[in-house]
Structure 1
């Protein structure tokens, strides 16, 4: 499946290697991922003396895919929007990478026009495109993103490859870069400009670029904002359960089938780049809803969202309602955690 061309025409060899690694995952099954898994969990936050995860506390292994978010880096802040210090984030990324984990980064950027957060939907995209009133602001923000990405080096000084998922869920109305706050044409222009600035202007060459809409029902919906084969390396999809398990399972099946058809046509690896049920209130969610629907569908990974507190979490912690089912799920040969991904 691997082509010799990536979105960044000067991508480093380790980025090609990451893409090949991602493609090979689906030969064995699919990888388990978790957002902020080593940064914090229910009742704890990372400190320098303890390296843990709620996933590890339940099953004795870590995820194979590690999600991080760099929201607030655009302001030069010390911590991200979820209070994770960027220095600590770099350390956690290095450790995960050294152990064979895959790093994926999202960016909940603030609204560059209104100065509100990502969810403040004042029209912004047309103003940050070249020639717009806030182009220079956006360019300065992106320089800070670039500086952070170029800090991500392993113990040998090699840049760590990252699956970068900017401006996700663009077909939803909740972000300033989403429809209808931004037209599909505007979104495509923003994607191309971001790629151009990062790779050419700021010489960031350690990224795979991941395009990831929210809930869709047709290929046309999925591709509405798609900026083009030559500027996307991987396809994603974000989907959360808000109603019954039965209804979600049906929706998930439809969405994964759409994603698979598009990805096979475009010959790109694909993943569920965000998924979950807040507070995991169904005791057998892992085996009867998630795995029963996505196994053998060719996806590279599922990334569960973060464990913030007992009131907002997506992966079980010890003794949580779904913890026993999660253990059963984790032991399935085709569900890949960190130890399964080591070669």
Structure 2
């Protein structure tokens, strides 16, 4: 569908809807509200393809202006760019992946200027130990940063720094750039200090609600959409066990990596994404496959033999694969020019059975 037809369709859909979708932030900027509505609509056209850190570095390169492993494989940038803010909470000028936050800001805004969608993850350090987000040895880190906790003032400072980053995302004309913010992800697992084994459901819900309320109502950050993204889950009850409520969440997501030794990607992915599709309809939320991938991509037909069947017909707004590390030769999840899976990725990108959308194929997502 071209941009003109998309606009006509959008106008018709809005006219026919008694309750147009509204984000969790009633004061969200016009561009953020438009992005939210278009996350619903884009799923009728195809699944946007995303890649973490795509504009920053790739399999064997770093900070080369305009480069993109995805673009070098299929001729187009991803429709969705993922970025990481871990480290910002400490006052550092570089992320946990050693990327200057100033560079993230510049390239994130540039992606918006081209019409792409931006999503941000955050791996904050453990507030009790000062170790990484992966330090899950304690069961009191979450309670310590809630109101009344020993580390609550520290957490507010962390959120102050996040707020400063988000409100500083400005386009060339001064518009606040909308961002899909995905905090405290993969909480149905126990890999992080906010995970299932590290806090109670009520503590997790309180953490989520305080974060949204503080950024939105105290700091006046109005360019965010909030993405809820558990790890592997058993059923709908497990998925929603720590769900903070529809008024606090904008997008329902899933993080599920293909780890053949742990679970079957085809059957498990079909089950979880079908459940996600149903939950999206029940809760009135767009859905996304917020993180996935097969590290090193040893299956050269993984894109069409594994990923495509799993996302087909699930009504997803986007699917994002994780980063291609420039300094770890086997740590990559996206395609890169010269890899054995590159021909299959081109088939994946060009297939018509389940359209996969890249940057130049997007309608105007912000109006």
TM-score using structure 1 length: 0.97
Conserved 8 A contact 1:188-1:226: yes
The residue correspondences of 1:1-343 to structure 2 (distance < 5 A) are 3=20, 5-47=22-64, 50-121=65-136, 122=138, 123-243=140-260, 247-308=264-325, 309-333=328-352, 334-343=355-364
1:213 shift after superposition? 0.3
1:5 shift after superposition? 3.5
Conserved 8 A contact 1:29-1:295: no
Deviations 1:318-339 (A, max 9, x none): 1211100001111124110111
Question: Which 10-residue stretch deviates more, 292-301 or 162-171?
Answer: 292-301
- Rounded to whole Å, the distance in 1 between the matches of 2:261 and 2:132 is 30
- Describe the SS at the equivalent of 2:77: coil
Deviations 1:232-264 (A, max 9, x none): 011000001111799211111011011111111
- Describe the SS at the equivalent of 1:300: strand
- Rounded to whole Å, the distance in 1 between the matches of 2:57 and 2:291 is 18
Which consecutive unaligned segments of at least 5 residues does structure 2 have?
1-16
- Describe the SS at the equivalent of 2:264: helix
- Rounded to whole Å, the distance in 1 between the matches of 2:241 and 2:262 is 28
Deviations 1:100-159 (A, max 9, x none): 100000100101111111001123110100111110000001100000011101011110
- Describe the SS at the equivalent of 1:133: coil
Conserved 8 A contact 2:59-2:324: yes
TM-score using structure 2 length: 0.90
Name the structure 1 match of 2:6: none
RMSD: 1.4
- Rounded to whole Å, the distance in 2 between the matches of 1:105 and 1:246 is 27
Conserved 8 A contact 2:23-2:36: no
- Describe the SS at the equivalent of 1:290: helix
- Rounded to whole Å, the distance in 2 between the matches of 1:341 and 1:15 is 16
Conserved 8 A contact 1:128-1:137: yes
- Rounded to whole Å, the distance in 2 between the matches of 1:187 and 1:11 is 24
Conserved 8 A contact 2:22-2:36: no
Conserved 8 A contact 2:21-2:37: no
- Rounded to whole Å, the distance in 1 between the matches of 2:217 and 2:176 is 17
Are the structure 2 counterparts of residues 245 and 218 from structure 1 closer, same or farther at C-alpha, using a change threshold of 3 Å? closer
Deviations 1:18-61 (A, max 9, x none): 111211111111010000001111111114xx211110111111
- Rounded to whole Å, the distance in 1 between the matches of 2:338 and 2:269 is 27
